[in-house]
Structure 1
Amino acid sequence: MTSSLTPLATDALVCHLLKTGRDGCTARFDRALFQLVLTHDEHEDTLDLGFSGSRVLERLLQVPGEVVSREELMTYAWEGRVVGQGSLNQQIYTLRQALFDAGSQIIQTLPRRGYLFNPQYLKVDQAQPSINAAPLTTVAENKGAVVMDLPAPSALPKTEQPKAARRFRSWQSMALAGSGMMVLLGLATLGFRLASSSAPSFTQTVDVGALEVLYVEKSQHLLDALIKETGLLVDTMSNMSAEPARLIVNMSPGFYEIRCA
């Protein structure tokens, strides 16, 4: 059994849409449930990554295209625990298997440096929002600081456009384009989640002394078994806790995970 005191992130419900190494197969990474949902020909398969595997993938997706060192990945995925290089190697292997990354093109290894997630395998809506030219407002340097509204830059000859104004418009266009892409990606993610028919998670909250315990499992049968099997452990932790606290309990492959929320 392992435990982690890492609090849940406020954006834990954001899901990443990924491409895989199999044609026509996409993946949705649900970091809140530590799951990877594979979609192929309208059929879905849900894989449990466990807490550590989910944290490794989450850290790589925070900086796609950038190298994350092995030490940083181990610290992020096994916070407060001492593990060897073999644990990280096993999680990287498991993630590659789940993403059909036989050629290590999605999660790439940089010898003696670490790993990176190939940004070409992030699934992003290619539609770009149209951006209209905004009127340019300049301040005259005459007495009285008169503010003048000039026509849109497109109405002026290129030779008359100040360089500073062109730089401002370029920066403004990139900022608006980036904001538009984030909105489209959020809408696409929401629509995908609403349209999908993946199996829901079963949860149950139990008060044990000063502790509020949230159990999470994939089925009611597994949820009942989890509550029964961890009952003695939770009672022991309740006797050791003098102040109210909230725990999240779930089952990962081979061990239980208990985290403070």
Structure 2
Amino acid sequence: MKIKNIGHLAVLLIPIISFSCKKDNSIQVIDIPIEATEVARIKYFNFTAGSPSVNFYANGVKVSGILSNTGSESTAGTAYGAVYPASNYSVINPATYKINGIIPSTATANANVTISEVNSNLEKGKYYSLYTGGIYNSATKTAESFILEDVLPPNNASNMVAYVRFVNAIPNGNSPMTLVIKNAVSGLETVVATGIAYKAGSVFVPVPIGSYELYVRYSASGINIISRNGTTNGVVPFLGGRTYTVGARGDITITSATAATRPLIDNTANQ
């Protein structure tokens, strides 16, 4: 499989993100010198149900953010259900990190409050996904978080199929979960992963190119507990040579069809 990040590697020796052209010492510029052949790569998912928007910091250095033209840090960070970066991965020097999710300094409520923390050793040449997960505790202003290594298909993997895995970020399911995808044209069902516990993820498996409905079930049951199809929030396309993470998030006890914290199925392109 071709790795689609050539454009990223060409600019690794310049600042990754700059928030403003104005001089403002309250705004931290994300500027980590990185050698292109010596990096780790990481995505940041804010999947804690009810979480405020956050920016992520690695050993105190800001590693995610939203562009601002005001001279002040944007009040928007990575919102609940969002991913940074939206496509591909960000780069980071290999090292051991304490990674925190912190509410933006300009937020109207709880500015600069750290809501999550996880420690991990990020190794050269490897890919990772950091998740905030579970349910936000508004009293203590805390969220759980975890990191998974993303073992992507090799460079010579086929471009005639897509590659899909499943991650479970729901803390209060009754048992481990299974992901089933259903071809929206043929109706054929394929089990992508089974027995996936909270804070765990499956391996990437090849699936035929096409448009799919997504269903999450408890592994011991054939009953759908979360659905994503044409009558909910839409089918998803799986394109040849691309890798995707299907994630389950939310509060399993919520039955409302419109509540923001209801159980949902997310589909994110890793590459």
Normalised to the residue count of structure 1, the TM-score between the two structures is 0.28
Higher strand share: 2
Higher relative contact order (CA 8 A, sep 6+): 1
Normalised to the residue count of structure 2, the TM-score between the two structures is 0.27
Structure exhibiting the larger radius of gyration computed from Cα positions: 1
Higher helix share: 1
